Structure 1
């Protein structure tokens, strides 16, 4: 890759980076290399960007633990997922004085007392999404990882990724029902939920982090897949593998590594997913029914530690990405901006990035401008000066942008046009 070319604007503690091309190297075997997160203060931060000049950012909630997702309720409140543990309510999230409720919501799957938990096990709640008819039915969809048994030979829990539905009743989830259950496996990871314009539910499920790595290339399991279901959890009509013997009928696409963000293009309606590669090779993919996205037989990335994977970036018979990041940006939640408050960001895609080039403390929001064919025109890096792990980004009902961080002391940030 060519030399990195940057133009930076630093104002009021924020660094904004315009990225043309980049290359970052890290010596093999390095661990915990990085920058210390900034203590984000309770004040207004102002910064400039390439197209939307004059932006204000404020913390509206803090003291949370490793936020993973947020969802806005019709009344302007927001639900916040502390990954693997709790679901929190932020009252008046779009108001001048949001109020974080101290107690978590009841009825959320809790495995805090589970025995035999390996450090790599990811248990409990992952993502949440509101049913399109939430205003009348109060239905919440969530994914969670449930311990199923203890595998004595492996010395690890077997875990299943589950899509569930519940009704929000005050400060509790009630009438919880598992709609779709994955196979019990060792090394289950993250997942996301996205409703389509047609009311169908898309669920992205990461590939296994250990053991049967080739399971992402098979359609007899849900791992390393994007699924498409009716809102009752049954497979959607027209799914490409529904009639294949031994296949999971819910599968829409396969060959994914860690697709931890999904969003619908507001212009054409396409479903896009962000995806972690290994060391390098993070992707943005347009999800097309029946396609194989290559993992682990195709990747732009290398093994952690620097050794090359035996790969072709886009092997014959696999679907190549719309975008690829080298070095990696650890992408998670994504959101298209479709509001009016940031006129010059209309239809731009925002990506929550946890770190860049395997260096801790280099997370940011990435803004991507596309043409009408979903081809990249340019990117901008925002908030990298905070040295935070960003995990999700959403547009609020007020037309502003909200982002959450994945830190011990996680925060919710609100972006608004700066007052003149």
Structure 2
């Protein structure tokens, strides 16, 4: 097993030479593979996107094409779960994340996020349903992002329950609607916080403000696809796709503006500037940004004991980067980074922590895999 001291010296030394300061841009990254054992739990899933553990040890996995699958006793159940609502499976749309209600053991409720509508009129939707072990019943909509868009990109879609049982939903800017990320009358480019029944949660920063959506928690985001929480401090972290460069990890605070598209460390895909500024008063700076992009797709705050050197760190899956990026945190400060599983050359879509401290990783592929990571 690799200790933190093994890979921290080079990044810190390079930072001193370059006189760099927070936020942490792309530092020299150590690539380590030898201390990770990879076990394939399932394969042949069509772009698996999100996963959640059941109390009995079963694992629910979404497929972007619109299916919900169950892995039980280390085996993929052949038949998909019945009762999943129809999704818009086009472009970046499809079935996204899954989360269990904090009281799942007594109420059997699960939550799904997905793209809903048509190619010309769509939005991100969240539903909840009863799960009896074989099918979903009593499916009801709890949240629809507004307004609808006519693009099939940048839906966001990650779900995270907080200790007060409110639900965080991450949303994208709709790509061609990026100006809406600064518009508080729109859910586009926002992180929202709702109750388990879909109402704006008490304590939200814009409750009662004229013209503002009451569910908004933070704004100025591009396409948030990773959300994680430090249970010891309550710190909420999110990552989002930049354009060409400028992927970010941010510390999320209620009511804060994270700048997109007014400030960015990236440029348009054509190479043209989106903004001439990467800092502006009243707009938050990222904890980490990446140039060039790694395309971060999910994130977990590791609290387990299997990978002792990783405890208290962020683990970020990367699509274009084809690795898992470990961000070493000490009291909220980035001390270094490490690239994991680079030798497999796979696009990684999701990462969650299992109850035993192992990690479950989904690969982004038409024949996607579900992998379990443990120390060698």
**Do both proteins adopt the same fold according to a TM-score greater than 0.5, normalized to the shorter chain?**
yes
For residues 147-296 of structure 1, the aligned pairs below 5 Å read 147=117, 156-183=119-146, 184-187=148-151, 189-210=155-176, 212-296=177-261
The number of aligned residues is 350
Report the 3-state secondary structure (helix = DSSP H, G, I; strand = E; otherwise coil) of the residue aligned with 1:293.
Answer: coil
The 2-side partners of 1:65 and 1:158 are apart by 25
For residues 39-50 of structure 1, the aligned pairs below 5 Å read 49=32
Partner of 1:36: none
Partner of 1:102: 78
Equivalent residue in structure 2 for 1:64, among 12, 30, 45: 45
TM-fit CA distance, 1:197: 2.0
Tell me, which stretches of 5 or more residues in structure 2 are unaligned?
Answer: 1-6, 16-30
The 2-side partners of 1:261 and 1:166 are apart by 23
Which range moves more in the overlay, 182-191 or 195-204?
182-191
Report the 3-state secondary structure (helix = DSSP H, G, I; strand = E; otherwise coil) of the residue aligned with 1:227.
Answer: strand
Partner of 1:367: 326
Structure-2 change in CA distance of 1:18 and 1:65 (3 Å): farther
Partner of 2:109: 139
Report the 3-state secondary structure (helix = DSSP H, G, I; strand = E; otherwise coil) of the residue aligned with 1:248.
Answer: coil
Q: TM-score, normalised by structure 1?
A: 0.79
For residues 316-355 of structure 1, the aligned pairs below 5 Å read 316-355=281-320
Is the Cα–Cα contact under 8 Å of residues 276 and 331 in structure 1 kept in the other structure?
yes
The 1-side partners of 2:8 and 2:257 are apart by 34
The 2-side partners of 1:177 and 1:185 are apart by 22
Is the Cα–Cα contact under 8 Å of residues 323 and 342 in structure 2 kept in the other structure?
yes
Is the Cα–Cα contact under 8 Å of residues 84 and 126 in structure 1 kept in the other structure?
no
More helix per residue = 2
Per-residue CA deviations over 1:75-97 (Å, capped at 9, x if unaligned) read 111011111421111112xxxxx
Equivalent residue in structure 2 for 1:83, among 64, 70, 78: 64
The 2-side partners of 1:168 and 1:133 are apart by 13
Structure-2 change in CA distance of 1:283 and 1:123 (3 Å): closer
Partner of 2:364: 406
Is the Cα–Cα contact under 8 Å of residues 320 and 347 in structure 2 kept in the other structure?
yes
TM-fit CA distance, 1:49: 4.2
TM-fit CA distance, 1:19: 7.9
Is the Cα–Cα contact under 8 Å of residues 140 and 167 in structure 1 kept in the other structure?
yes
The 2-side partners of 1:19 and 1:123 are apart by 40
Report the 3-state secondary structure (helix = DSSP H, G, I; strand = E; otherwise coil) of the residue aligned with 2:237.
Answer: strand
The 2-side partners of 1:387 and 1:83 are apart by 21
The 2-side partners of 1:77 and 1:236 are apart by 30
Matched, 1:377 2:335: yes
Per-residue CA deviations over 1:203-237 (Å, capped at 9, x if unaligned) read 01011122x32111101121110001111111111
Q: RMSD value over aligned CA atoms?
A: 2.1
Partner of 1:74: 55
Structure-2 change in CA distance of 1:220 and 1:126 (3 Å): same
The 2-side partners of 1:267 and 1:389 are apart by 31
The 1-side partners of 2:81 and 2:262 are apart by 42
Tell me, which stretches of 5 or more residues in structure 1 are unaligned?
Answer: 1-15, 23-47, 93-97, 149-155, 357-362
Partner of 2:24: none
The 1-side partners of 2:196 and 2:189 are apart by 21
